[in-house]
Amino acid sequence: MQIVEIVIRNSTYKVSCENGKKDHLLHLANSFDKLVSSISQKIGGKGSDTLNFLLAALTLEDKVLELTKQLNEITQERKKYRNEKRAEYTEVLGKVNKIIEYIKD
Domain count, the chain: 1
pLDDT surpassing 80 at residue 105: no
What are the distances in angstroms from CA 76 to CA 55, 60, 63?
32, 24, 20
Q: Report pLDDT digits (tens) over 24-71.
A: 999 999 999 999 999 999 988 778 989 999 999 999 999 999 999 999
Q: What predicted TM-score, i.e. pTM, was given to this entire model? A: 0.73
Q: Report pLDDT digits (tens) over 2-23.
A: 999 999 998 999 999 999 999 9
Q: Identify any residues that bridge with 4 across adjacent strands, giving them in sequence order.
A: 15
Q: Report pLDDT digits (tens) over 71-92.
A: 999 999 999 999 999 999 999 9
> Residue 35: which domain range?
2-104
User: Which amino acid is it at 12?
Assistant: T
> In which region does residue 9 sit, left (phi positive, over 0), alpha (psi from -120 to 50) or beta (all else)?
left
Residue 44: CA count within 13 A, CB half-sphere: 1
